[in-house]
Amino acid sequence: MWTQVSQSLHESMARVISRVATLLPGILAFILAVLFFAAIAWLLAWLVRTFLNAIRIDERLARGTDAIAEWSPSYTPTTLITRVVFWCVVLVGFLVGLEAFGASSDNLISARLLGYIPNVVGAVVLLLLGNVIARFLSRSVLIGAVNMNLHYARLLSLGIKWLVLVLTAAMVLDHLSIGAAIVDLAFGILFGGIVLALALAVGLGSRDLVSRSLEREAARPGGEAMPEEQFRHF
C-alpha cells in the first residue's frame, strides 16, 4: 500500500513539475515581452519629450488655454503626454506577453485574462478620472461656498465629492461586471440618499438664511446703503 501511495505522490509531483516546466517558457516570454516593450516605451517617451520640448508645446498650450493645467496643475502637458505614451506601450507589451504566455501554455486562463483586460483598463481610467473630477469639483464648491459666506460650505463640498466618488465606483464596478444588479440598486440608494441628505441640509440651513435676509430687508429703510456697499473694491 505504501508503495502505491509513494508512486501516486511521485506521479503527481512529476505532473506538477512538468506543468511548471511547460509554463516556464511562457513566463519567460511574458517577462521578456514586458521588458522589451518597457525599453521601447522608455525610448519612445524620450523621443516624444524631446520633440514636445523642441516645439515648446507647454508654452503654446499655456497661451491658448489653461484647461490641462487647471485640471492637473502639478504636471505640465509634456509630462502628461510622455507618461501616456510610456504606459500605453508598456500595456501593449503586457498584452503581447500574455498572448505569448497563452500560446506556450495552451490553457484558458490567459484567454480569459486577455478578454478581461480592456475592462480592467477602462475601469482604471474611470477611477483615475473620477478621482480627479471629484477633487476638483469639491475644491471648487468649497472655495465658492466660502466666498459666498455659506456656513455649510464643507458639507456641500463633501457632498459633491462623495456624489462623484459613488458615481465613479458604480461605473467602475459595472465596467468590471462585478455585482451586476446589486451595484445598480446600491448605487441608486446611496446616490438618492446623498442627494436627499444634501437637499435637507441645504434646505434647513437656507430656511434661516432666507428668513434672516427677509428680516434685514424689511428692517432696512428705503434708500439706505447696504453695509457691503460702503466698500468699493475696484
Residues that bind another protein (CB under 8 A): 62-66, 69-71, 73-74, 136, 139-140, 142-147, 149, 151, 153-154, 157, 225, 227-234
Residues whose CB falls within 8 Å of the CB of residue 77, separated by 6 or more in sequence, listed in order? 52, 57, 58, 61, 68, 69
Task: Please classify residue 164 by burial: count the beta carbons closer than 10 Å to its beta carbon, then call 0-12 exposed, 13-18 middle and 19+ buried.
Answer: buried
Nearer to another protein, 3 or 229 (CB): 229
Least distance in angstroms from the C-beta of 166 to another protein: 22
Nearer to another protein, 136 or 191 (CB): 136
Query: Cell digits for 134?
Result: 471629484
Nearer to another protein, 1 or 228 (CB): 228
At residue 79's C-alpha, the angle toward residues 64 and 69, to 5°, is 40
How far is Cα 142 from Cα 150, in angstroms, rounded to an integer? 9
Contact 57, 45 (CB under 8 A): no
Nearer to another protein, 92 or 155 (CB): 155
Helices (H), the chain: 2-54, 57-64, 67-71, 77-105, 108-147, 153-175, 181-219
Contact 157, 142 (CB under 8 A): yes
Least distance in angstroms from the C-beta of 87 to another protein: 23
How far is Cα 60 from Cα 58, in angstroms, rounded to an integer? 5
Least distance in angstroms from the C-beta of 165 to another protein: 17
Least distance in angstroms from the C-beta of 205 to another protein: 13
User: Could you tell me the CA-to-CA distances from 110 to 32, 87, 115, 124 in Å, in that order?
Assistant: 17, 21, 8, 20
Nearer to another protein, 4 or 147 (CB): 147
Least distance in angstroms from the C-beta of 83 to another protein: 17
Least distance in angstroms from the C-beta of 142 to another protein: 6
Nearer to another protein, 2 or 231 (CB): 231
